[in-house]
Structure 1
Amino acid sequence: MDFVHLVLRYLHLLGFAAVFGGWLVSWLSGRFNFNTAMLYGIAVQLATGIVLYGIVAAAGDANHAKLGVKFLLALLLAVMIAIPVWKKRDKVAAGHFWATGGLIAVTAGVAVFWQ
């Protein structure tokens, strides 16, 4: 079971890399758009996060408040990313773009700093 947990955590981190990397590339190119890498990355993060929560909760040592906040932030990010991608928008509003980047940073901060 430890191997499965490690593989899921690895996939979860790859999902974060896709979301943050896609956002960073968009920012550095000056286009302010969202791409399918970000959409697939947040989908991977949601899926693996839910399974990881189930594994940790089954072991009995889950921080339900932290994981609930992380799920809520990831769900909000998914909506913020999915709608422009599905509507095939070439560019999103600057406020939407920067709010998404900030929410990506906050979500990573919750994961790292909330013990």
Structure 2
Amino acid sequence: MAAVEALRLVLLYVHLIGFALLLGGSIAQYVSGTIRINPAMLWGAVIQLLSGLGLAAPLRDGDEPSPAKLLTKLLIALAIFTMVFFSRKRDAVNRGHFLGIIVLTLANAAVAVFWR
């Protein structure tokens, strides 16, 4: 296995951990009844954004995703990060705002899986 492919796989693994933290943290908060941003959500959003930028690097010898897909994922990830970061110190977050974070997280995963 080439070093670049190993790096890509590690970044993908880290990216999936960020997704799990973000979605798992948000679902746990939503089910608990106290709708607020928890540390898992914040770390998940940060990890998703940073590892996603690493995954977007053109290192695959022409096998890169389309620029439109990468831009779409970047915009969704930035929206999620912004929504999480600027709401992190509130005692309670609006239900619609919180559901927006969950929907955007799922939409970002859907773009990654279904957009070829």
Q: Provide the rounded CA distance (Å) in 2 between the counterparts of 1:112 and 1:30.
A: 30
Q: Percent identity?
A: 41
Runs of 5+ consecutive residues of structure 2 not aligned to the other structure: none
Q: Which one is further off, 102-111 or 75-84?
A: 102-111
**Equivalence for 1:45:** 48
**Equivalence for 2:63:** 61
Q: 1:15 aligns with which of 12, 15, 18?
A: 18
State the 1:37 CA deviation.
1.1
Q: How big is the alpha-carbon RMSD for the aligned residues of Structure 1 and Structure 2?
A: 1.2
The count of corresponding residues between Structure 1 and Structure 2 is: 112
Q: Do structure 1's residue 102 and structure 2's residue 93 form an aligned pair?
A: no
Give the TM-score normalised by the residue count of structure 1. Answer: 0.91
Q: Provide the rounded CA distance (Å) in 1 between the counterparts of 2:24 and 2:90.
A: 19
- Return the structure number with greater helix share: 1
- After superposing on structure 2, the runs of 4+ consecutive aligned residues of structure 1 that deviate more than 6 Å are none
Q: Provide the rounded CA distance (Å) in 2 between the counterparts of 1:59 and 1:31.
A: 47
**Aligned residue identity for 2:31:** L
Runs of 5+ consecutive residues of structure 1 not aligned to the other structure: none
User: Could you say what secondary structure the match of 1:54 adopts?
Assistant: coil
Once the two structures are superposed, what CA deviation does each residue of 1:50-93 show, in whole Å capped at 9, x if it has no partner?
1111144x6233211101100000000000000011xx111101
Q: Do structure 1's residue 73 and structure 2's residue 76 form an aligned pair?
A: yes
